Amino acid sequence: MPTLAANPKPNFLPPTDQPNHGLDLPPHMQRKPSHDPNPNPTPATNSNFDASPEAVLPATPPPSLLYLSFNQDHSCFAAGTDHGFWIYNCDPFREIFRRDFDHRGGGIGVVEMLYRCYILALVGGGPNPQYPPNKVMIWDDNQNRCIGEVSFSSEVRSVWLRRDRIVVVLEHKIFVYNFADLKLLHQIETIANPKGLCAVSQGAGSLVLVCPGLQKGQVRIEHYAWKRTKFNLAHDSRIACFALSQDGQLLATASTKGTLVRVYNTVDGSLLQEVRRGSR
């Protein structure tokens, strides 16, 4: 059963209390059954416990870090561990929330926040995952339960949240869902993408999504407002990482060769700037 740390959720706000950052979920999602693996926990006991002063309890190993991600406005970041997940405030830096699952499992390989509200996307990970690694669980910490889930035939590599969309990245495919009812809106095939590379605009405008294309060094840019798809051969080597501006207008890319960063205009695909390693 999850346990709360002291002073839980001081900076977490329910979606209805956050102007421009809220998410009103439909009633049918609110009524989904709980996926809490142990809704009625009993106190742990140890028949071999020696209450004498000389008895020494085994030390609990520190948690192993499995995942890190910022929320949409970079005011917080989330850490997935082999026992649960933690949420930290960036400025001032402090832990604001923690949920530790059962000691026999509880691994969270992906944890994505929706701004500062109670809604998170969770994927199991590590040697003892809390959830199957091929499922995305939509967790409402205000209700202390999962309110939705989406299953896949292979492991989930990453998840991106917007107020209106959920983007799920597998090794060879990307799925775009409507957040309100989890309706599948679009799917994209990519080259092998074991790191789950993807970037999603977070501005108030329409969704811009960037992902690997179907060949080495290529990026695919989706402008959903214009129903336009653009492919850019950004590098000769495989893409190592990329980042998208909040409004989706600028894209920075780097390859596995690691010698330069290129900045593109996502509207027309033009190269705006090139920064080589060691240059000033």
Q: Provide the pLDDT for residue 3.
A: 26
Beta strands in 94-238 (DSSP E): 94-100, 108-113, 119-124, 135-140, 145-151, 158-161, 165-169, 173-178, 184-189, 199-200, 208-212, 218-223, 228-233
Do 133 and 174 fall within a single domain?
A: no
* % of the chain at pLDDT higher than 70: 76
Domain boundary pick from 156, 188, 216: 156
Which of 156, 186, 212 delimits the end of a domain?
A: 156
Residues 96 and 175 in one domain: no
What percent of the chain shows pLDDT beyond 90? Answer: 55
Regarding whether 205 and 125 lie in a shared domain, the answer is: no
Can you tell me whether residue 41 is helix, strand or coil?
coil
- Are 241 and 192 within one domain? yes
Per residue in 99-144, pLDDT (tens digit) is 888 766 789 999 999 998 889 999 999 988 999 999 999 988 888 8
Please report whether residue 31 resides in a domain.
no
Assess if residue 87 is contained within a domain.
Answer: yes
What does the block give as tokens for 83? 């026992």
What is the count of structural domains for the chain?
2
In a domain, 26, yes or no: no
Q: What is the mean pLDDT of residues 145-171?
A: 93
Pair of tokens at residue 129: 């995952």
Is 8 part of a structural domain of the chain?
no
Residues 151 and 257 in one domain: no
- Compute the distance between CA of residue 266 and CA of residue 200 in angstroms, rounded to an integer: 12
Same-domain pairing of 150 and 168: no
Mean pLDDT of 230-250: 93
Mean pLDDT over each residue of the chain, to the nearest integer: 80
What would the pLDDT profile of 38-65 be if each residue is shown by its tens digit?
A: 433 333 334 333 444 455 555 667 788 9
User: Is 196 inside any structural domain?
Assistant: yes
Same domain, 248 and 189: yes
Residue 198 within any structural domain of the chain: yes
Task: Of 101, 79, 96, 141, give the one whose Cα is nearest residue 6.
Answer: 96
Domain that holds residue 216: 163-279
- Does pLDDT of 25 surpass 60? no
The residue-averaged pLDDT of 63-76 equals 89
Q: Are residues 132 and 197 in the same domain?
A: no
If asked whether residues 190 and 103 sit together in one domain, one would say no
User: In this structure, is residue 91 part of a structural domain?
Assistant: yes
Same domain, 91 and 171: no
CA-based radius of gyration for the chain: 21
Does 151 score more than 50 pLDDT? Answer: yes
**Stated pTM of the model:** 0.76
Question: Quick check: 263 pLDDT over 50?
Answer: yes
* Residues present in the chain in total: 280
Q: Which residue in 152, 156, 153, 148 sits closest to 129, CA to CA?
A: 156
- Give me 106's structure tokens: 């509880």
Same domain, 97 and 141: yes
Residue 2 maps to a domain: no
How many whole angstroms separate alpha carbon 258 and alpha carbon 186?
Answer: 32
* Domain endpoint, select from 156, 183, 217: 156
98 — pLDDT class (breaks 50, 70, 90)? confident
209 near 167, Cβ under 8 Å?
yes
| Same domain (yes/no): 150, 172 | no
Give the CA angle between residues 214, 220, 223 to the nearest 5°. 145
The domain that contains 273 carries what CATH number?
Answer: 2.130.10.10
Q: What pLDDT sits at residue 279?
A: 57
